[in-house]
Amino acid sequence: MKKLLFFCCLSALSAGVYAQATKPDPLKEKTAFQTSSPWMPEIDVRSDIAIVYGVNDRKGMTFEQRVQSWRDHGYQTNFMTGIAWGDYKDYFLGKWDGINHLGVGQVTQKGDTIFHGKDMPYVVPVKSFIEYMKTAVIKRVIDAGISKIFLEEPEFWARAGYSAPFKEEWQKYYGFPWKPQDASAENTYLSSKLKYHLYYEAIKETSNYAKAYGKSKGMDIKVFIATHSLVNYSSWQIVSPEASLSSLPGIDGYIAQVWTGTSREPTYFDGQKKERVFENAFLEYGSMVSMTAPTGRKMFFLTDPIEDWPRDWADYKRNYQATFTAKLLYPMVANYEVMPWPERIYTHPYKVANSTEKVLIPQYYSTQMQVMVNALNSMPASANKVTGVNGVGVLMSNSLMFQRFPTHNGFEDPQFSNFYGQTLPLLKRGVPVQTVHMENLQYAASLKNIKVLVVSYSNMKPVSPAVHTSIVNWVKQGGVLIYAGRDDDPYQSVMEWWNTKGNKFTAPSQHMFKLLGIDPSAGKQKYKVGKGAVYVIRQNPKEFVLEANADSKFVDVVKQGYETDAKVGKLLFKNSLYLQRGPYDIISVMDENADSKPYTIKGPVIDLFDPQLPVLAQKVINPGEQSLLYNVSRVGNKTKPQVLAAAARAYQEKIAAKTYSFIVKSPIKTLNSMRVLLPAKPKTTKVTDSKGQEVTDVKTSWDASSNTVYLGFANDPDGIKVSLSW
């Protein structure tokens, strides 16, 4: 699955004369990266935080020494490890307690254990594994002085659920013997609920231990979950606690693991199955935002400049730009994991698709990537909204993961199309559709700004009757509900709250309709309820996208509900999404749209997706493309010298009479490219390395339209000093 670990054992080089003077602000915790390696000059990314991965000792280096190597170079150190898999061979092979635990792996119907690597199974989180995580991993991390812990990827594969430990957990949880999930839809649903519960409890117990043990040592421990989105886990047929964790007292936030590998999963729209990386990423990040928005938990957004599967560097670049743009279109999030595994990005030659060739990251791409990464260090949170109507929501639930595998009674949901049928017809028309987590409806903020809510129980089920109470109250106060579904899937009749304990509904929607006081069997499409309205479309949402030109009825109903019933203006359709964040312009132009016109922005703007950082009089973005621009006209104080964009991070800025100097740091063997705003064209430019030696190979040019000087030279993690005078 995600992220192969490349353990690099290159020795750390000694710090240069600038090292101790250029430490980041210890209070800043905005950007991070995760690494299993000790510090080395090739991967000195210069984010605020180095998330050290794994607690294992290496040959000639303990875990504690690996942590210290990053601290010695000015980094805050956090920790990450897998909670469903990991390099825990001392546990799996019996060194920890004298018992071989390979039998705790997740097992398929065929009897195969699902492995993440050699002697590294995905686990059923039994008591002994949780105890190992607490005492052999978490305790050691806290003893090393680390107060922020990331538990990664709590994953139970939908196709698993046949091992002896899982059967034992089934008996304990349900009070009756295990039933094979392949035998019925109800068994599948019950199996998935148990998988969800096991990891919920494992994380609850582990995080509680971490906080209690830290408190005993006078430390305030924060625990975060690094997880794929609910969109991706549902699509990839994986079960995880997801949204429910945001209400746990022991959980302080998330990393949203969204990258090309998840977002390039093909989707159906207008009858065509293909990759739609930007749109998919936008929906993935959105589902992560809705998990934490009502609870105020901290959220880091991840992107990855490459992915696990061999492609080519042009493919990596194009899709990195798409996912990067998607995350920036959520202005309420301004914390980022800028990359995972810099060791594999900078030091590992990648096999090119359809060839035997292996190629190290090209310098043009590492420069562009570092420009983008350094933009994140200053990317502001913003109250601005993406252009278009921001009041349309689609309801989601953890139970989306419960119906994905295997197939029962011929019920199919190709490529998770019942979800994309509710979202892509709107997003492709330039509506920045939001997702709303059912598990958060208890918080008033969940529906506060939603005017039209789309709901379907074709691919998920309501987790409690309280869900319907919240929705009905919202409708009565003026909300517009659009329910789309035939209620004909085999999961409608699983053993759940709507057909037990005195309830006798044959479909969960019947309970909601009863509370609304409507009877859809009468065949009407629209019902007035209180100050709001309810529309019922008796189609499963997948029908809107599996065939060409099949979404117009759905889109028309959303438009009518928004304009006629919610009465909040026009539902604007367009082919672009645009957002302004401080000096940054973020744009995506959709293809597969009736409008094929490009989007044009007037300059002067600096193109941050071009490693040469050109200043453009205007930028034209075509359908299917994205752009990140630095708009020079929005610089707050144009008389103040400042670095506007760079493939290195600037420190020790000094402004005096007609002079400006700073030190920039970035990984060795990469090239810096930067634009610096000055009051006038520089008369002298001096560039020196950490030993005070002048750097002679420096590219410079002046752009009068923006009053910026361009500088290009080789990077050095020990620091390069730039002095400009005019």
**Where along the chain do its domains lie?**
20-378, 392-565, 576-634, 642-725
Mean pLDDT of the region 686-710: 97
Which residues have CB under 8 Å from 470's CB, separation 6+? 441, 442, 446, 447
356: confidence class by pLDDT, cuts 50, 70, 90 = confident
Residue 8 has pLDDT above 60, yes or no: no
Q: Determine the pLDDT at residue 578.
A: 98
Mean pLDDT of the region 65-93: 98
Please, what sign has the CA dihedral across residues 89, 92, 93, 96? positive
354: confidence class by pLDDT, cuts 50, 70, 90 = confident
364: confidence class by pLDDT, cuts 50, 70, 90 = very high
Mean pLDDT of the region 52-66: 97
Fold of 20-378: TIM Barrel (3.20.20)
16: confidence class by pLDDT, cuts 50, 70, 90 = very low
Residue 5 has pLDDT above 90, yes or no: no
| Closest listed residue to residue 360, CA positions, set 609, 670, 11, 711 | 670
Residue 246 has pLDDT above 90, yes or no: no
Q: Determine the pLDDT at residue 351.
A: 75
Share of the chain above pLDDT 70, in %: 96
15: confidence class by pLDDT, cuts 50, 70, 90 = very low
Cβ–Cβ < 8 Å for 455, 496: no
Q: How far apart are CA 225 and CA 255, in angstroms?
A: 6
Q: How far apart are CA 612 and CA 217, in angstroms?
A: 50
The 8 Å CB, 24+ separation contacts for 488-491 are 488/540, 489/185, 489/403, 489/411, 489/458, 489/459, 489/540, 490/184, 490/185, 490/408, 490/409, 490/411, 491/185, 491/186, 491/188, 491/189, 491/402, 491/403, 491/408, 491/411, 491/461
Give the residue, 311 or 225, on which the prediction is more confident: 225
Q: Determine the pLDDT at residue 308.
A: 83
Q: How far apart are CA 286 and CA 298, in angstroms?
A: 15
Does 20-378 match 392-565 in CATH topology? no
CA trace torsion 317, 320, 321, 325 (10° rounding): 180
310: confidence class by pLDDT, cuts 50, 70, 90 = confident
Q: Determine the pLDDT at residue 1.
A: 47
Residue 659 has pLDDT above 50, yes or no: yes
Mean pLDDT of the region 578-594: 98
> Lowest mean pLDDT: which of 82-86, 289-293, 398-402, 703-707?
289-293
| Closest listed residue to residue 105, CA positions, set 182, 166, 152, 193 | 166
Position of tokens 């013997």? 177
Q: Determine the pLDDT at residue 109.
A: 98
Cβ–Cβ < 8 Å for 289, 301: no
Q: Determine the pLDDT at residue 11.
A: 36
DSSP bridge pairs for 532: 529
Give the residue, 352 or 609, on which the prediction is more confident: 609
Distance from the Cα of residue 26 to its chain's centroid: 25
> What dotted CATH number matches 392-565?
3.40.50
pLDDT, tens only, 528-571:
999 999 999 999 999 999 999 999 999 999 999 999 999 999 99
Residue 724 has pLDDT above 60, yes or no: yes
Backbone phi, psi, residue 203, to 5° = -70, -40
Q: Determine the pLDDT at residue 17.
A: 35
Q: How far apart are CA 687 and CA 299, in angstroms?
A: 38
Q: Determine the pLDDT at residue 192.
A: 97
10: confidence class by pLDDT, cuts 50, 70, 90 = very low
Over the chain, what is the mean pLDDT? 95
Mean pLDDT of the region 101-121: 97
Q: How far apart are CA 135 and CA 130, in angstroms?
A: 9
27: confidence class by pLDDT, cuts 50, 70, 90 = low
| Closest listed residue to residue 101, CA positions, set 130, 134, 140, 139 | 130
Share of the chain above pLDDT 90, in %: 92
Q: How far apart are CA 645 and CA 614, in angstroms?
A: 11
Judge residue 478's burial from the number of C-beta atoms within 10 Å of its C-beta, 0-12 exposed, 13-18 middle, 19 or more buried: middle
Q: Determine the pLDDT at residue 7.
A: 38
Q: Determine the pLDDT at residue 474.
A: 98
Q: How far apart are CA 429 and CA 590, in angstroms?
A: 8
Mean pLDDT of the region 37-49: 98
Judge residue 444's burial from the number of C-beta atoms within 10 Å of its C-beta, 0-12 exposed, 13-18 middle, 19 or more buried: exposed
pLDDT, tens only, 418-465:
999 999 999 999 999 999 999 999 998 999 999 999 999 999 999 999
6: confidence class by pLDDT, cuts 50, 70, 90 = very low
